[in-house]
Amino acid sequence: MGYDVMKTWVEKAQYGNQKIGDRSAIDSFWLTGDLRITPQEQIDFLRRLQQDKLPFGKRAIATVKNIMILEQTPQYTLRAKTGWSNYGEPKLPQQGWLVGYVEQNKNTYFFATHIDIREPLDAKARMLITRSCLKDLGLL
């Protein structure tokens, strides 16, 4: 895709702070570069995705939504995406994300779980914590 095209689309999608760094970071700017996104910005992005209001084609959006399905039952559909990074700073704690939404009874409930990961087994906590909260809310 290249640097200029990537920069244009990150800006058009209004993803986080939209900082993708220089050309040398094109394959890792979301992991080790200056790109940052808050939990609320993640929710906003997910709302626009769910409502087909991102600046991408319908087929691309449908493909992303399909890939995000973690669980589908007659009662609900759970869509989510994980993330894990220390933003290229070895002294910073690892950050783990699970962002997504639950569709249930023609309603949509968005979530963004963000935790420190101190050891690899902590990564599983993203899903465990999120599922526990969603169950407590009666969404799963």
More confident residue, 35 or 41: 41
b (16+ CB within 10 A) / e for 26-64: beebbeebebebeeeebbbbbebbbeeebebeeeebeee
**Predicted confidence (pLDDT) per residue in 68-124, tens digit:** 999 999 999 999 999 887 665 667 678 889 999 999 999 999 999 999 888 888 889
Give the model's pLDDT for residue 62. 97
Q: For residue 106, report the phi and psi dihedrals to the nearest 5 degrees.
A: 65, 15
The pLDDT, as a whole number, for residue 15 is 94
Tell me what the pLDDT averaged over the chain comes to: 91
**What's the CA angle centered on 39, arms 33 and 42, to 5 degrees?**
75
pLDDT for the residue numbered 27: 84
Q: What residues does each domain of the chain span?
A: 1-36, 38-136
The fold adopted by the segment(s) 38-136 is: Beta-lactamase (3.40.710)
